[in-house]
Amino acid sequence: MRTNHLPDAQALLAFDALVRCGSFTAAADELECTKSRVSQLVKALERDLGTVLVLRNTRRVALTETGQRLAAHARELRCLLERLRLDINEADGEVSGPLVISSITSFAQYLLAPVLAELAVLHPGLQLQLQVENRLQDPIAEGLDFCIRTRNVHDDALVAKPLGLVREWAFASPDYLAKSPPLEVPEDLSRHRILHDVSRSKLRDTPEWLLEKDGQQKQIRVQPVLSSHQYAPLLSAAIAGSGVALLPAYVASEHLRTGRLVPVLPGWSHDCWPVYLVYPYRHPLPRKYEAFIQHVVPRMRALLQAGIDPGQGGGEPALPE
For 72-115, the pLDDT digits (tens) are 898 888 888 877 766 665 555 678 889 999 988 888 888 899 99
Single out the residue of 300, 317, 307 nearest to residue 248, CA to CA.
Answer: 307
Which long-range contacts (C-beta less than 8 Å, at least 24 apart) are formed by 180-186?
183/244, 183/264, 183/265, 184/265, 185/265, 186/211, 186/218, 186/220, 186/265, 186/268
Say what the pLDDT of residue 315 is: 42
The rounded percent of the chain whose pLDDT value lies above 90 is 34
How far is residue 260's CA from residue 23's CA, in Å, rounded to a whole number?
A: 49
Say what the pLDDT of residue 154 is: 64
More confident residue, 192 or 155: 192
Q: By the 8 A CB rule, do 102 and 72 touch?
A: no
| pTM, to two decimals | 0.63
pLDDT over threshold 90, residue 179: yes
Q: How far is CA 210 from the centre of its chain?
A: 27
pLDDT over threshold 60, residue 316: no
How far is residue 210's CA from residue 208's CA, in Å, rounded to a whole number?
A: 6
How far is residue 102's CA from residue 275's CA, in Å, rounded to a whole number?
A: 13
Cβ contacts of 303 within 8 Å, gap of 6 or more: 111, 115, 164, 250
